A and B are shown apart, each in its own frame.
Chain A
Amino acid sequence: MSSTLTPPRPDAATPAATTPRGSVRVLLRLHRKALWAGAALLVLGIGGVVALRIWMASAKERCADGDITPCGGSVYQASYARTSSETFLAEGGTALLLLAVLVGVFVAGPLIARELESGTFRLAWAQSVSPAHWLAARLAVPAALTVVGMTVLVLVYRWGLWAFRGYPYSYLTRPYDSGIFPGTGPAVLGHALLAVAVGALCAVLVRRTLAAVSLTVVVLGAVGLALATWRHLLWPTVLRTGPDPVDIGVDAWDVDMGMITASGERLRWEDCYSADMTQDIAACMRDRGAVGHFAEYHPLSHYWPLQLVETGVLLALAALAAFAAFRVLRRLHG
C-alpha cells in the first residue's frame, strides 16, 4: 500500500513513460533504406581511399623520392597512380562537405518535412510521443550516426593523404587547400551537425519537402561559401617582412602578399598593373614608396587553431538552429 496522502486515481496511475528508445527504434525502422544507403556511402568512401593507396603502393617507383625515371637524373616523373590519386584526393574535403549537405537534405526532407507534409507526424504524436521527443529523435539519430561515419571518413582521408608525405612536387594536396582543409579535421563534423540542425529548422519552418530541401541546400551552400571565402580570418595571420618574405614554405597559406612602404603602408601589385600594363612594375612600386616585400600568411602551426575555431563557429550555429527548430515546433504545437 502506498503511503501517499491522496491515493492516485486507479486509471491514472502511470502516465506512460515515453522513453526515447522506442522513438529511436521506430525511426531506424522507418528509414532502413536510407541507413543502408548511408552505410554503402561509408564503405564506398573507405574502399575508394584504400583502392587508391593499393594502386599507389603497386606502382613501380624506382627511387626513394617516387621518381619512375633513373634516380638522381635531371627528369622527375611521378607514377601515374600517384598523380591520379593526388588529383582525386585533392577534392576529398569537398566530397565530405557535399556528404554533409546530403545529410542535411535527408533530415530536412524525408525525415521531418515529409512527415509534416503528409500528416504522419500525427501518428507518432497520437502514440504517446511528444512533439519535442519526436523532433529530438530526428535530430539525435542522424547527428550521432553522421558524427561516427564522418569521423571514420576523416581518419581514412587523412590516412590517404599521408601517402603523399615526403614526395617532392606534391602540390595538389596541401593542408590549407579549400578542397582538403575542411575534410581533414573536426571542422567537417561541425559542417555535418550544422547540416542536421539547419535541415530540421528549415523543415519545421516551411513544412514542405521540396521547399525544405531547397532552403537547406541554399543555407548550407551560403555557409560553405562564406567559410571558403573568409576562413583565413578565423585566426590572426602572421606578417612577415624582410628580404625574402615570400619564402613561407609550401604548406603555409599565403593570405596576402605585396610590398610595403617605409611607414608600413601596404602596396598592392594590382594597383600598378591596373594603372599601366606596359610600365615596369618594380619601378612603379618603387615610385609609390615601396621599400620591401611583405607576406601575410598562416603557417602550418595554425592548422589546428583554424580547424577548432571553424568547428566552434559551426557548432554554435548548429546549436542555435536546433534551438530555433524546437522553438518553432513548440510555438505551433505546444
Chain B
Amino acid sequence: MNGVAIEARGLARTYGRGGGGHRALHDCSFRLPAGRVCALVGPNGAGKSTLLNLAAGLDRPGAGTLSVLGSRDPAAVRGRIAHVAQDKPLYPQLTVADTLWAGAELNPGRWDRATADRVAGTLPGTARVRALSGGQRTRLALALALGKRPELMLLDEPMADLDPLARHELMGVLMAEAAEHGTSIVMSSHILTELEGACDYLLFVDGGRVRLGGEAEDIVSAHALLTGRDGDLAPHTVVESRTTGRQLTALVRKEGPVDTTAWSVSEPSLEELLLAHLRAPDAPPLLTPSAVPGAVREAVASA
C-alpha cells in the first residue's frame, strides 16, 4: 500500500460569481496515502463537503489540480470511488430491495452483493425508501457505497443521524472493510469524537485550506502542552497560550527538545489540539511528510 489516494495542489473552488463569491476552498494542498482511514474534520462551512464533492468527481475545481487514485480526473475513476453525500441521496420511490438491485445494475462487474446485504442487514426489503428513518437511510446509503467495493470511500458526515449503537456497529463494518480490502476511507465530521479512535489519519480543514494533515499520532506528538511560570517559549511555535495568574499554559509545536526543567510537559489530546488551532487561525499549517503533496517528493525521488 504505497499508492496515493488523493493528492491536491493549490485546489480552489468558489461558489457564486465575482467578488461576492464564497470561497469554499482556497489554495488547499495535501496528500492522502492509500489505505488510510482519514478523519476530515473542521468547523461547519470549512470546505469539507466541497473537498469530498471534488474528489468524487461531482464538481470541478476552479483552480489547482486534484488527482484521485492516480487519475488527474476524478470523474474518470468514479467506478472505483464511493461517495455518500451528507443528505444521503436515495430514490424515495424505490424499495430497499430495489435500491440494492439498482446498485448492482449500475456497477456491473464490481458489485459485491454479499457485502451490500450484510450492511443493509435488518432493513425491511419491501419498505419504500421514503418511509425509512434517517438512520435506516444512512445504513442503506452505506450498503450502496460498500457494495460497489470501492478503493476509496468518501463519506460526508456519515454518522450524523445514527444512534450510538448503530454508529458503533456501522463503524465496525467500515473498519473491517478497510482492513480486509485495504480501502482508503475519508470521513468528514465537525464532531471529532465521532471519529477519534477509528481514524489513523487526520485532515483538519479550516477556512478553505488544510491546516493540519498527517498521521494523527504524529500530529499530536509534534505538539506539547507546556505549563509553568511565565517564561520564554522559544524556539517553539506557539499555537495558543493562556495566562492564569502567574501560571502560563501554552500549546506549542515543538522545534527541538523541550526544556523540562522550566516546563511541565504533557501531550495534548487531539481535541485540545484542534480547538487550539480553531482559536488561533494564524497558526502556521503543519503537514507531516506523508501528507505533503507533489513536487517536493517527486524531486527527491528522482534525485
Q: Determine chain B's interface SS by DSSP, over half rule.
A: loop
CB pair B107–A120 under 8 Å, yes or no, is no
Contact with B along A102-123 (1 / 0, CB 8 A): 0000000000000000111111
Q: Which residues of A contact B107 (CB under 8 A)?
A: 16, 22, 127-128
Of B77, B84, B108, B110, which is within 8 A of A19 by CB? B108
CB pair B102–A334 under 8 Å, yes or no, is no
Q: How far is the CA of A15 from the CA of B80 in the complex (A)?
A: 7
CB pair A29–B81 under 8 Å, yes or no, is no
Of B69, B94, B144, which is within 8 A of A127 by CB? B144
Q: Which residues of A contact B83 (CB under 8 A)?
A: 122, 126
CB pair A22–B106 under 8 Å, yes or no, is yes
CB pair A334–B60 under 8 Å, yes or no, is yes
Q: Which residues of B contact A127 (CB under 8 A)?
A: 102-103, 106-107, 144, 148
Interface size class of A (residues with CB under 8 A): 20 to 34
Q: Which residues of A contact B148 (CB under 8 A)?
A: 16, 127-128
Q: Which residues of B contact A14 (CB under 8 A)?
A: 109-110
**B87 lies within 8 A of chain A by Cβ:** yes
Q: Determine chain A's interface SS by DSSP, over half rule.
A: helix
Q: Which residues of B contact A122 (CB under 8 A)?
A: 58, 83, 85, 89
**B145 lies within 8 A of chain A by Cβ:** yes
Q: How far is the CA of A21 from the CA of B104 in the complex (A)?
A: 12
CB pair A123–B145 under 8 Å, yes or no, is no
Q: Which residues of B contact A16 (CB under 8 A)?
A: 79-80, 107-110, 148
CB pair A17–B109 under 8 Å, yes or no, is yes
CB pair A119–B87 under 8 Å, yes or no, is yes
Q: Which residues of A contact B57 (CB under 8 A)?
A: 125, 334
Contact with B along A18-60 (1 / 0, CB 8 A): 1101110110011001000000000000000000000000000
Of A17, A29, A33, A119, which is within 8 A of B102 by CB? A29
| A22 to chain B: closest residue by CB | B105
CB pair B59–A126 under 8 Å, yes or no, is no
Which positions 56-108 of chain B face chain A at CB distance < 8 Å? 56-60, 69-70, 73, 75-85, 87, 89-94, 98, 101-103, 105-108
Q: Give min CB distance, B132 to chain A, whole Å.
A: 14
Q: How far is the CA of A121 from the CA of B83 in the complex (A)?
A: 12
CB pair A29–B94 under 8 Å, yes or no, is yes
| B154 to chain A: closest residue by CB | A126
| B56 to chain A: closest residue by CB | A126
Q: How far is the CA of A126 from the CA of B3 in the complex (A)?
A: 22
Known contacts A29-B102, A119-B85; is-contact A12 B91 (Cβ 8 Å)? no
**A129 lies within 8 A of chain B by Cβ:** yes
Q: How far is the CA of A128 from the CA of B79 in the complex (A)?
A: 4
Q: Which residues of A contact B157 (CB under 8 A)?
A: none
**A11 lies within 8 A of chain B by Cβ:** yes
21 A-B pairs, CB-CB below 8 angstroms?
A12-B80, A12-B151, A15-B76, A15-B79, A16-B107, A16-B108, A17-B108, A18-B79, A18-B106, A21-B105, A22-B105, A29-B94, A29-B102, A30-B94, A119-B87, A120-B90, A120-B91, A125-B56, A125-B58, A126-B56, A127-B102
List 8 tightest A-B contacts by C-beta distance, closest first: A16-B79, A22-B105, A127-B106, A126-B83, A128-B79, A334-B60, A119-B89, A123-B89
Known A21-B108, A29-B98, A118-B89; 10 more pairs at CB < 8 Å:
A9-B70, A12-B69, A12-B70, A16-B109, A16-B148, A17-B109, A18-B79, A120-B89, A126-B82, A130-B75
Q: Tell me the B residues contacting A by CB distance below 8 Å.
A: 3, 56-60, 69-70, 73, 75-85, 87, 89-94, 98, 101-103, 105-110, 144-145, 148, 151, 182
